[in-house]
Chains A and B, each alone.
Chain A
Amino acid sequence: MQSETARVTTARESSYRVQYPNSKRRDVKVVALDALSASLVDEVSREPWNGAKFFTSLSFSTDSAPGTTGEGLKAWLKDLAGAANDLVEEVASSDFVVVVTSAGEDARAVSLIADACALHNKSLVALVVPGPETTDAQISESMTHLRPFARMLVIASGADYISAMLTALRA
């Protein structure tokens, strides 16, 4: 006699899988950390998304320089319309956060975002995008900055990968 497992793993049985949605909309925040990645993020943001929010820069008050944690954290994310949004609030209302940085650019601001993520237990995915002229040493430097903060650190090929990843994650 055929086992239960053999019977239920046919193509025909696959067609009986329930078709109800199995997850809710995600709130994903995508933050560019420098001017080059801002233009990539801007490009990607034009595709249709399920609620992902895109930011092109991070600014912080001088008493909240990288290293500041907890209540003292005062930083703002600039959205595509140019408006400033409170970093901690944006992170708090997210499901996870993606930061994008160009290899060789200053990525130190990531520590503020990581602090906000730590405050609200959100995971952080970091993408490093090499430019056409980027050297291995520059990639390395960016990776070293990002490593302590990200659960997943990816060297991405460019805007096409950013959008492939966000699509895969239902952003």
Chain B
Amino acid sequence: MLKKEQNEYLTQTGPGTPMGELFRCYWMPALLSEELPEPDCAPVRVKLLGERLLAFRDSEGRLGLIDEFCAHRGVSLWFARNEECGLRCPYHGWKFDVNGQCVDVPSEPAESGYAKKVKLKAYPLIEKGGVLWTYMGPPEKQPPEPEFEFCTVPLNQTFSSKRIQESNWLQAMEGGIDSSHVSFLHRGDLANDPLFKGAAGNKYNLGDLSPVFEIAESDGGLLIGARRNAEDEQYYWRITPWVMPCYTGVPPRGDHPMHGHFWVPIDDESCWAWSYDYHPTRPLTDGEVAAMKDGKGIHVKYVPGTYRPLANKDNDYLMNREAQKAGRTFSGIEGIGMQDASLQESMGPICDRTKENLVGTDNGIIMARHRLMRAAKALVEKGVIPPGVNPEHHKVRQAALLLPRAANYTEGAKEALIAKKGVRQTSV
């Protein structure tokens, strides 16, 4: 459990809150590249960390993420014309560039210099790995670009999607490090999903339903090891990295692409669940990409034209009691992503952690919360840069491997846990 104040501390990420300050230390995924496909395309509304913003690509392809509302009288610039290197407000014609700088106030003589006095808040927006990333903190503290492996491999080796989740970010992220739910909630999918099935390691998951856990801090966050019994005096280890504040990696299966998530707060009652899938050494096959686009694996099918899952709270997530009863799905909901989302949204917009009853195997969640609170406190009180800002902390990999029983996974899997260019993932 958490005390009420602690729950509020961890779940509130708006401007001026301690966790809000913490999030504003990192580059975070803001949009998919496909959302701003070409120069002068339609601008896109973006809400992040409780701030309403607008993203656009100008005539020269430059990216901007600026305050959504016109500085003149507060009109949403979503209605603006994206033309000649800037967004022109359709109300009175004021124009803003990608840095938020007002460059034209038609009612005032250009020579008056009035436009120079007006500037909307703007954040940098960079493109990497098919994702547009932003940094919302003070410019003088802007860290080097993110180096997560999925965004540094060639574009034909990586695929990202995002879906809106109607819950606070923390309960979503906690699902990503809660390794003990997999044997229940996702039980049906190991054998059937095209992006999971067929891996040699799957038999250990299905053969030993009570994994034992080990948790260690890493420089950027945590390493959560789950081990199951395997033949020849070995253990089958699945190791999940968490990089602060909201990146998680799912341990791989066979030669399937590796996947994981980013959980990015939109406001305190909703977040973006980002899902990446990549292979370190080979292009994704057409079949894999087709499956990902079709919502298989950790991805979802959408309501057409949106990033809202097709199965959502408005249609009871297409609950199928018959499949639940027959055991084809454990919860009656189809697809790994929606199995998680449906339950996490059911906790309510902000989960009340004063009522929960955690057990020993929930230590991953306990430790993540503890690290987040400790880091936010050190940042706010002493200006200490939190773990996970340094791009070296991003170069961690998830792994699945067999180790002798006496071996320590933090050592036995040391190499496997480092992202190395051109080196295949460690997976069974």
Contacts and interface: CB of A to CB of B under 8 A. Distances in A.
A140 B349 contact: no
A167 interface: yes
A69 B370 CA distance: 37
B314 interface: yes
Interface string A1-18: 011111001110110010
A108 interface: no
Contacts of A157: 217
B166 interface: yes
Q: Is the interface of A mostly helix, strand, loop or mixed?
A: mixed
Contacts of A98: 360
Interface string A151-163: 1111101001100
A2 B369 CA distance: 35
Contacts of B360: 96, 98, 123-125, 151-152, 169
A161 B370 contact: yes
A2 B314 contact: yes
Contacts of A22: 355, 357
Nearest to A143: B408
A164 B166 CA distance: 29
A16 B392 CA distance: 46
B423 interface: no
Between B269, B317, B357, the greatest number of chain A beta carbons within 10 A of the residue's beta carbon is seen for B357
Nearest to B414: A136
A3 B350 contact: no
B35 interface: no
Nearest to B210: A151
A17 B363 CA distance: 26
B136 to A, nearest CB: 25
- How large, as a class, is the contact surface on chain A? 35 or more
Contacts of B346: 5, 9
A147 B369 CA distance: 24
B1 interface: yes
A88 interface: no
A152 B411 contact: no
Interface string B320-361: 000000000000000000000000011011101001011111
A5 B212 contact: no
Q: Is the interface of B mostly helix, strand, loop or mixed?
A: mixed
A62 interface: no
Interface string B1-25: 1110000000000000000000000
B349 A10 contact: yes
A152 B314 contact: no
A61 interface: no
Nearest to A148: B405
Nearest to A97: B360
Nearest to A20: B355
B367 A161 contact: yes
A9 B408 contact: no
Contacts of A154: 214-216, 363, 367
A81 B347 CA distance: 43
B315 interface: yes
Interface in B245-280: 269
Contacts of B166: 9
B357 A6 contact: no
A23 B349 contact: no
Contact of B361 (A5, A13, A151, A161): A151
A164 B3 CA distance: 11
A39 interface: no
A169 B217 contact: no
B126 interface: no
A86 B216 CA distance: 32
Interface in A66-109: 96, 98
B348 A168 contact: no
A144 interface: yes
Given A154-B363, A170-B1, A170-B357, A9 B345 contact: yes
A109 B215 CA distance: 22
A150 interface: yes
A125 B215 CA distance: 11
A6 B311 CA distance: 12
A165 interface: yes
Contacts of B352: 14, 17
A3 B314 CA distance: 5
Contact of B406 (A144, A155, A170): A144
B10 to A, nearest CB: 12
Interface of B: 1-3, 166, 212-217, 269, 313-317, 345-346, 348-350, 352, 355, 357-363, 366-367, 369-370, 374, 405-406, 408, 410-411
Given A139-B410, A140-B411, A161-B367, 12 more contacts: A4-B316, A5-B317, A9-B313, A11-B269, A17-B355, A139-B408, A143-B214, A147-B214, A151-B212, A153-B213, A155-B215, A165-B367
5 contacts: A3-B313, A9-B346, A96-B359, A151-B360, A165-B363
**Nearest 5 A/B pairs, CB to CB:** A14-B348, A125-B360, A153-B214, A152-B360, A140-B408
